[in-house]
Amino acid sequence: MPELTIGVLASGRGSNLQSILDAIGEGRLEARVAVVISDNREAMALERARSRGIPAFFVDYKAYPAKADYERVVVRLLNKYGVELVCLAGYMRIATPVLLDAFPNRILNIHPSLLPSFPGLHAQRQALDYGVRYSGCTVHFVDQGVDSGPIILQAVVPVLKDDTEETLSARILAEEHKIYVEAIRLYQRGCLEIEGRRVRIKDIDENK
Ligand code: GRF
């Protein structure tokens, strides 16, 4: 299987980016992060990339009157670095058709809830407030909606009696780091097939 060229879009801390880089470094993922792009100049994700010698760019969406123009710059950078798969990792913007059409079925996202429950912002707080007994995280293909694309992998964690948003988020984050890497590995190996809303995982389903 050829090495996969990944571009990561991130707005903040970048721990999912870090787990992808660690998996590559440890030989668990046959991939290369070719570029990291952020809409936040201060994003720690940019620092993490630069410290590894990975090209990292801040693109200021406020500098572009139309969101499509901002995204055209992002797409140009992704193409310049030969990106095959775009991984959104804590990226706070909704993709428009500019990005979606440039990378059809080639954009993944990680979300800290068991979708379709609790899409959007503050998913962990939403889960606590609702009173669910279990929450978790989801890796999905990105479509034009908010956290609404076909689901690839999910992981479940319990919600404990004394959980705060912080403790629940930390428990979920540990699972995010595992399933995002696993979903990228499945993509890289050509195991993912989208059938309507459903994603068929070939090497798992075919051994049943
Ligand atoms: C994660 O919880 C992810 O699921 C959500 O934003 C957070 C990003 O964390 N989309 P990090 O920047 O990867 O540390």
User: Which ranges in 44-197 belong to alpha helices (H)?
Assistant: 44-51, 67-80, 97-102, 123-130, 165-188
Looking at the chain, the whole-number percentage of residues with pLDDT higher than 90 is 96
Interval 111-170: pLDDT, tens: 999 999 999 999 999 999 999 999 999 999 999 999 999 999 999 999 999 999 999 999
Closest ligand 1 atom to Cα of 12: 12
**Does residue 91 share a domain with residue 162?**
no
- Please give the C-alpha separations between residue 35 and each of 96, 145, 160, in angstroms, as whole numbers: 20, 25, 38
- Please give the C-alpha separations between residue 92 and each of 32, 61, 111, 201, in angstroms, as whole numbers: 23, 12, 11, 28
Q: 49-87 in b/e burial notation, b at 16+ Cβ within 10 A?
A: beeeebebeebeeeeeeeeeebbbbbbebbeebebbbbb
> What is the span of the domain harbouring residue 150?
109-208
Q: Evaluate whether 73 touches 93 at the Cβ level (below 8 Å).
A: no
How many secondary structure helices (H) and strands (E) does the chain include?
Answer: 7, 9
Q: Say yes or no: CB of residue 111 within 6 Å of ligand 1.
A: yes
**Does residue 72 share a domain with residue 2?**
yes
**Does residue 184 share a domain with residue 120?**
yes
Report how far residue 104's alpha carbon sits from residue 121's, in angstroms, rounded to the nearest whole number: 24
**Does residue 206 share a domain with residue 114?**
yes
52, 73, 104: which is the final residue of a domain?
Answer: 104
The reply to whether 140 belongs to the active site is no
**Does residue 147 share a domain with residue 179?**
yes
Ligand 1 centre to CA of 15 (Å) is 7
Give the residue, by CA position, lying nearest to ligand 1 atom 2: 112
Interval 6-28: pLDDT, tens: 999 999 999 999 999 999 999 99
Interval 45-55: pLDDT, tens: 999 999 999 99
**Does residue 118 share a domain with residue 80?**
no
Q: Say yes or no: CB of residue 136 within 6 Å of ligand 1.
A: no
Number of domains in the chain: 2
pLDDT of residue 32: 98
pLDDT of residue 206: 52
**Does residue 91 share a domain with residue 142?**
no
pTM here is 0.96
Q: For the chain, how are helix, strand and coil distributed in percent, rounded to 5? A: 40, 25, 40
**Does residue 117 share a domain with residue 156?**
yes
Ligand 1 centre to CA of 14 (Å) is 7
**Does residue 200 share a domain with residue 136?**
yes
**Does residue 170 share a domain with residue 77?**
no
Q: Say yes or no: CB of residue 40 within 6 Å of ligand 1.
A: no
Q: How would you class 196 by CB atoms within 10 Å of its CB: exposed for 0-12, middle for 13-18, buried for 19 or more?
A: exposed
**Does residue 191 share a domain with residue 100?**
no
Mutate to test the pocket of ligand 1, among 22, 44, 110 (most ligand atoms within 8 A of CB): 110
104, 120, 149: which is the final residue of a domain?
Answer: 104
104, 138, 170: which is the final residue of a domain?
Answer: 104
Q: Say yes or no: CB of residue 89 within 6 Å of ligand 1.
A: yes
- The CATH number linked to 91 is 3.40.50.170
Ligand 1 centre to CA of 158 (Å) is 19
Report how far residue 68's alpha carbon sits from residue 48's, in angstroms, rounded to the nearest whole number: 27
Ligand 1 centre to CA of 196 (Å) is 27
**Does residue 170 share a domain with residue 149?**
yes
**Taking Cα atoms as reference points, which of 189, 186, 156, 184 lies closest to residue 22?**
184
User: Which ranges in 9-122 belong to alpha helices (H)?
Assistant: 15-25, 44-51, 67-80, 97-102
Give the residue, by CA position, lying nearest to ligand 1 atom 7: 90
